[in-house]
Amino acid sequence: MQSAGKATQWTYIGTGAVEELVQFLKEQGVSTVVLVSDKNTDGAAGAELHRRLSDGGFRSERVVLAGDEVIADEWYLAKVLVSAPAENCVFVAVGAGTVTDITRLVSHRMKVPFVSYPTAASVDGFASIGAPVVLDGVKITLIAQAPIAIFADLNVLKSAPAELTAAGFGDMLGKLTSIADWRLGNLVWEEPYEASIAERTLTAVKLCTENVGEIARRTSLGLEGLLEALIESGTCMLDFGTSRPASGSEHHISHYWEMRLLQEQRPAILHGAKVAVATAMIADLYDRIRGLSRAEVKERLERSPLPGRESEVQAIRAAYGPTAESVIAEHEPFLGMTEAQYDRIKQRIADHWNDILAVSAEVPQAEFIRTQLHRAGAPTTPAELGLGEEEAQAGFLYGHYLRNRFTVVKLARMLDMHRE
Ligand SMILES: [Zn+2]
């Protein structure tokens, strides 16, 4: 994502969200509403919203996306586009991640606003402007728009499948490693960093870790806190202008797995569930970084060679198959690095080792992260996701190629720790 957009104007989380939404739309002078949902979220909230809006004098169009697995791909995007009326309207995304992203992109391209009506506290994308979509089988994020308002009904959130709430918790715990990676990127790769945004994101994570029992029991307090945290994380991305605060090496692993499942035509796994498992893996790595002595770091850096361009490109082609070319293009700043640039990075790592240790010290121990995830009902191992040992490892070895960002995985490669 490249540029910041307009922030969400209004957020309501509570009971009676339908009345609040109807009132809001009346105040905005809206006459036509397009409700986008899938068959599950239509049952959970869409049908009821349609009835209430129609009774309230709105023209309400209901687009229910069919199929067991809705993907934000060309087919579903076109489906929403052709179902929309050719008149001024406001879209309402009734659902979680995918329905919201499809609605976000279509409404943006039609130059009309949309309202988010989350049916599960499962992802942190509600408030953001980026729409992760799958085009020609490749997962990319297109700039679209933030919703003008978010309305969530606690009773709807409570009725959502438990694994969706657990996934939302997993997506939030991923910020513990994404923020640390972001700070490493700033120290070593001179990526722009904003401490206030990192702090806000970590405060949002705390709202979840301190309420894990409430979240696990799906109480009003727990769900309200979790959704607030997810919305805040999305707002932080929006305020910073890229997904950097909320997405580090744990997300790269998750994206790698997602693309691989898609290529092999296997069923998708919830985003937050993949992020949960990957976060535990990355926390293991931070544990190991903390265990390195300065002398060992010095010695490892001295024998660290600049990765050869050809072997790197070959590795990307082998790992990414038909989508390799776009990955190579994204990774060009690293692939085109000279010996002198590589030495400079090594020097920065040596010079900033105490800072790197301080960043690592802020990542909770992997054991704490696994315990938290387990308490929230989220998976902690690749096997629980149905992924094999080789696939788990491949995410670790090849996920980092997906973004031009410095992360702890890149640090581990430079220190020759990634295959240990
Ligand atoms: Zn995420």
Return per-residue pLDDT of the chain as tens, 420 residues. 333 445 566 899 999 999 999 999 999 999 999 999 999 999 999 999 999 999 999 999 999 999 988 999 999 999 999 998 878 899 999 999 999 999 999 999 999 999 999 999 999 989 988 899 988 877 788 999 999 999 999 999 999 999 999 999 999 999 999 999 999 999 999 999 999 999 999 999 999 999 999 999 999 999 999 999 999 999 999 899 888 999 999 999 999 999 899 889 899 999 999 999 999 999 999 999 999 999 999 999 999 999 999 999 999 999 999 889 989 998 998 999 999 999 999 999 999 999 999 999 999 999 999 999 999 999 999 999 999 999 999 999 999 999 889 999 999 999 999 777
Write out the two tokens for 243: 């997904």
DSSP-derived letter for residue 140 is E
Query: Does 14 reside within a domain?
Result: yes
Residues 206 and 138 in one domain: no
Q: Which residues contact 240 (CB under 8 A, 6 or more apart)?
A: 4, 194, 197
Residues 155 and 240 in one domain: no
Rg for the chain, CA atoms, rounded:
22
Residues 294 and 410 in one domain: yes
Q: If we measure between CA atoms, which residue out of 183, 202, 223 comes closest to residue 407?
A: 183
234 CA to middle of ligand 1, Å?
A: 9
Among 91, 126, 160, the domain-final residue is 160
343 CA to middle of ligand 1, Å?
A: 33
Residues 264 and 140 in one domain: no
CATH number at residue 38: 3.40.50.1970
Residues 24 and 82 in one domain: yes
Neighbouring CB atoms inside 10 A of 259's CB total 23
350 CA to middle of ligand 1, Å?
A: 31
Residues 119 and 181 in one domain: no
304 CA to middle of ligand 1, Å?
A: 32
Residues 324 and 376 in one domain: yes
169 CA to middle of ligand 1, Å?
A: 10
54 CA to middle of ligand 1, Å?
A: 35
Residues 86 and 189 in one domain: no
For residues 218, 268, 99, 395, the Cα torsion angle rounded to the nearest 10 degrees is 90
402 CA to middle of ligand 1, Å?
A: 15
171 CA to middle of ligand 1, Å?
A: 5
Round to whole Å and give the CA distance between 155 and 15. 7
247 CA to middle of ligand 1, Å?
A: 6
Helices (H) and strands (E) in the chain, counts: 21, 8
pTM of the shown model? 0.94
Count up the domains in the chain and report the number: 2
Query: Does 2 reside within a domain?
Result: no
Residues 309 and 393 in one domain: yes
272 CA to middle of ligand 1, Å?
A: 6
Structural domain of 113: 10-160
Round to whole Å and give the CA distance between 316 and 311. 9
Round to whole Å and give the CA distance between 358 and 354. 6
- For the chain, the residue count is 420
269 CA to middle of ligand 1, Å?
A: 13
Query: Does 72 reside within a domain?
Result: yes
Round to whole Å and give the CA distance between 240 and 4. 7
AA letter at 194: E
Residue 410: enclosing H or E segment and its boundaries? helix 408-414
> Which pLDDT belongs to residue 3?
35
302 CA to middle of ligand 1, Å?
A: 36
3-state secondary structure of 60: strand
Among 131, 160, 189, the domain-final residue is 160
Among 110, 140, 160, the domain-final residue is 160
341 CA to middle of ligand 1, Å?
A: 31
Q: Any alpha helices (H) in 63-160, and if so which ranges?
A: 74-83, 97-109, 154-159
Q: Which residue has the tokens 């361009």?
A: 309
116, HSE (Cβ side, Cα atoms, 13 Å): 36
233 CA to middle of ligand 1, Å?
A: 9
> Which pLDDT belongs to residue 5?
46
